Amino acid sequence: MNFPVTRLRRLRYNSVLRDMVSETSLSANDFVMPLFVCSGTGVSNPIHSMPGNYQLSVDLLVEECKKVVASGVRSVLLFGIPPHKDEDGSVACEHNGIVQQAIRAIKQDPATKDLYVIADVCNCEYTVHGHCGTIVDGDVENDLTLVTLGKQSVSLAEAGADMIAPSDMMDGRVGFIREELDKHGFYKTPIMAYSAKYASGFYGPFREAAESAPKFGNRATYQMNPANTNEAVREVELDIMEGADIVMVKPALSYLDVIHRVKQEFGMPVAAYNVSGEFSMVKAAEANGWIDGPRVMMEILTSIKRAGADIIITYHAMEAAEILKNRR
Ligand code: PBG
């Protein structure tokens, strides 16, 4: 049937009905809030390019986690800024590493112990050169890097991490980490793999936040070319075969097609990382009065969910959860 019998606007005149036929809905359950932990006590360094985000020492990180809980968000993703760095990221594997301390503190406080704590696994915040692994002949050496990634993962699981999320893009790391976790008895700890992680300009603000910008070159020999999607499917497929429980596409907004394709092809739980640059663009435009920030935020998050993401890692998590509370 065509017009005038069919009128698609009929379902749009009433807001109750609009909500009834809404195809996508966001929930605080979908969100993961990324947080940055640094050494010291009472430290709260604002991250200028990411308004509302801070490098927090462990004590204040726990306070921030209480706010996360109050917002209704139930999971955090932790990144560490260690007091000193080294050549191969061994500092990330120490029993008293910065993220290890943070996890123990969160798990010890009755107000935050039920937060689901995901630990990012990568070397770039821990190496003096800022690359995601061990450098040999001017490039990141894949197989040597696996060894530190495995150690870091086990150490974070020992500290109480609920989930391990490798973001380094080394070949074979999911399988290697799975084996190391299992060997140490952590067979219940899931792996969320940053499977299709692109070499992206959208990570700029994060590198200020995590002090992890590479000191030479770039990440193009390990992160993916933004032009590719068949390759993303191969990356995801390999990670699934190596034992990934959740696969991730990152960034989110410029890669909605990749999120959609990965969900369609594999039907796996898919995470999308709404990265720092995507957040900062919204905040900057909002601060200039150029856009309605909260509205654009909700539209972006909805689009990521609509594309096929089950989990959205986003710096907007708490703000969006507060808005959802006030919606019916
Ligand atoms: C570490 C890592 C990065 C991000 C998450 N984990 C940065 C990078 O690869 O340089 C980016 C997150 C963001 O931009 O919000 N490898």
Distance CA 200, CA 145 (A): 21
Residues in the chain: 328
Please list the alpha-helical segments (H only) found in 51-97: 58-71
Atom of ligand 1 nearest to the CA of 279: 15
For residue 197, give the 3-state DSSP assignment.
strand
Q: What confidence score (pLDDT) does residue 137 get?
A: 92
Phi and psi torsions of 156, nearest 5°? -70, -35
Angle of the 98-108 helix axis to the 142-159 helix axis, nearest 10: 20
Atom 14 in ligand 1: which residue has the minimum CA distance?
Answer: 203
Query: Would you write out the chain's pLDDT as a tens digit for each of its 328 residues?
Result: 899 999 999 999 999 999 999 999 999 999 999 999 999 999 999 999 999 999 999 999 999 999 999 999 999 999 999 999 999 999 999 999 999 999 999 999 999 999 999 999 999 999 999 999 999 999 999 999 999 999 999 999 999 999 999 999 999 999 999 999 999 999 999 999 999 999 999 999 999 899 999 999 999 999 999 999 999 999 999 999 999 999 999 999 999 999 999 999 999 999 999 999 999 999 999 999 999 999 999 999 999 999 999 999 999 999 999 999 988 6
Give the C-alpha distances (Å, rounded to integers) separating 141 from 145, 146, 170, 212, 232.
6, 9, 9, 18, 21
Distance CA 39, CA 56 (A): 8
Cβ atoms 206, 313 nearer than 8 A:
no
> Which of 77, 203, 224, 279 to probe ligand 1 with, by most ligand atoms within 8 A of CB?
203
Per DSSP, the residues of 225-243 read PTT-SHHHHHHHHHHHHTT
Strand-strand pairing, 192-197 and 246-250: parallel
Residue range 25-326, CATH number: 3.20.20.70
Cβ atoms 99, 78 nearer than 8 A:
yes
Active-site residue, selected from the candidate residues 85, 151, 250, 283 = 250
Which residue is it, tokens 């959205």? Answer: 312
Which residue is it, tokens 């996508």? Answer: 24
Q: What confidence score (pLDDT) does residue 328 get?
A: 65
Ligand 1 binding pocket, CB closer than 6 Å: 120, 122, 124, 132, 167, 203, 206-207, 212, 275-276
> Which of 49, 212, 282 to probe ligand 1 with, by most ligand atoms within 8 A of CB?
212
- Close Cβ partners of 125 (under 8 Å, ≥ 6 residues apart): 79, 80, 81, 82, 85, 92, 210, 211, 212
Q: What confidence score (pLDDT) does residue 187 get?
A: 98
User: Does the annotation count 250 as an active-site position?
Assistant: yes
Distance CA 252, CA 211 (A): 22
Atom 2 in ligand 1: which residue has the minimum CA distance?
Answer: 167
Domain ranges of the chain: 25-326
What is the CA 257 to chain-centroid distance, rounded? 18
CA of 205 to the centre of ligand 1 (A): 9
Give the C-alpha distances (Å, rounded to integers) separating 180 from 25, 187, 190, 211, 242.
38, 9, 13, 28, 12
User: Does the annotation count 215 as an active-site position?
Assistant: no
Angle of the 276-287 helix axis to the 293-307 helix axis, nearest 10: 150
